[in-house]
Structure 1
């Protein structure tokens, strides 16, 4: 995924399926300058990771 698409998903009122290495995630923040995103993995709000945006995949 590119940074612009990650920002679009993050700012959208719609829900999009996003995955990190096959696991569903929620985008919580996008750092456009560094190409990084903070994501919540699964349903636990405390389980967050900061990863390169290009590791994220938009699912069906």
Structure 2
């Protein structure tokens, strides 16, 4: 996923299925300057990761 799309999803009031390595994630922040996103894995607030936006995939 490109950084702009990650930012759109983050700012949207709608819910989108986003995955990281097969796990569902919730985008918590997008760092546009560095192309990175902080995500919460599987609705678990203690399992957060900062990853490159290109590792995120939008579900169908």
- Note the residue ranges of structure 2 that are not aligned, 5 or more in a row: none
Where does 1:1-60 land on structure 2 (aligned, <5 Å)? Answer: 1-60=1-60
- Note the residue ranges of structure 1 that are not aligned, 5 or more in a row: none
Q: CA deviation at 1:44?
A: 1.1
Q: Which runs of 4+ in 1 moved over 2 A?
A: none
Using structure 1 for the length normalisation, give the TM-score.
Answer: 0.97
Q: Partner of 2:7: helix, strand, or coil?
A: helix
RMSD over aligned CA atoms reads 0.5
Using structure 2 for the length normalisation, give the TM-score.
Answer: 0.97
C-alpha separation between the residues in 2 aligned to 1:17 and 1:5?
13
